[in-house]
């Protein structure tokens, strides 16, 4: 089974949250992922499906469903995948307008990322956006600047652009 790439089906809104540009396609993809999840037995496949379904639910604005899926993913992940799962859970809380929970999860994600030496730029980026939502503009800018520096060193133009956009939003508030 091959689930559709969600990237072309979303856009970022003014709060830097992914929203569906084709909700019916995202809805169909979510339904397909949940169906596949019910039949999946292999741990890596289950984790991938939990992540996909959690992202689709978040994009559709189904906060509780997204949070529940990412909690399950976090329970079954470790190492880099555990860091990624915690970042996604924090983002789900952020998109659910639960900034305290978002910041708490993303601070844990950043701590784990720094200890593991992986996904630090992603943790910084998402924590920066959560802090911005929580009204902590100065700290958000500091973390987003650090994320931008790390991403510039890596040279990934798409990630650099994403962080520059978040930083511009943070500085503009």
Complete DSSP assignment for 25-79? HHHHHHHHHHHHHHH--SHHHHHHHHHHHHHHHHHTT-HHHHHHHHHHHHHT--H
User: What percent of the chain shows pLDDT beyond 70?
Assistant: 99
Rounded Cα gap, residues 124 and 71, in angstroms:
20
Quick: pLDDT tens for 90-138: 999 999 999 999 999 999 999 999 999 999 999 999 999 999 999 999 9
Instruction: Please state the pTM of the whole predicted model.
Output: 0.95
Last residue of one domain, picked from the residues 42, 76, 110: 76
Note whether residue 129 is domain-resident.
Answer: yes
Residues 7 and 66 both lie in one domain: yes
Domains of the chain: total: 2
Q: How far apart are the first and last CA of the chain?
A: 44
Asked if residue 67 lies in contact with residue 38, where contact means CB atoms within 8 angstroms, the answer is no
Residue numbers of the domain that contains 42: 1-76
Are residue 8 and residue 68 in the same domain, yes or no?
yes
pLDDT for the residue 136: 97
- Lookup result for tokens 């200890």: 115
pLDDT in tens, 36-50: 999 999 999 999 999
Q: Residue 36 domain-assigned?
A: yes
Please name the residues in contact with 119: beta carbons below 8 A apart, sequence gap of 6 or more. Answer: 80, 83, 84, 87, 109, 113
Question: Are 66 and 103 in a shared domain?
Answer: no
**Residue 1 banded pLDDT, cuts 50, 70, 90:** low
**Positive or negative: CA dihedral 93, 94, 100, 104:** positive
């Amino acid at each position: 089974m091959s689930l559709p790439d969600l990237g072309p089906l979303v856009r970022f809104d003014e709060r830097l949250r992914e929203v569906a540009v084709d909700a019916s396609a995202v809805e169909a993809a979510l339904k397909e992922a949940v169906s596949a999840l019910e039949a999946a037995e292999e741990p890596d496949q289950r984790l991938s499906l939990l992540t996909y379904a959690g992202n689709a639910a978040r994009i559709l604005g189904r906060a509780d469903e997204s949070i529940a899926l990412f909690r399950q993913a976090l329970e079954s992940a470790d190492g880099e995948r555990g860091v990624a799962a915690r970042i996604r859970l924090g983002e789900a809380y952020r998109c659910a307008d639960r900034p305290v929970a978002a910041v708490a999860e993303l601070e844990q994600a950043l701590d784990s990322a720094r200890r593991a030496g992986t996904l630090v730029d992603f943790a910084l980026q998402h924590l920066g956006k959560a802090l911005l939502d929580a009204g902590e503009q100065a700290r958000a800018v500091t973390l987003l600047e650090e994320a931008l520096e790390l991403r510039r060193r890596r040279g990934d133009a798409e990630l650099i652009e994403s962080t520059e956009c978040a930083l511009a939003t943070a500085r503009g508030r």
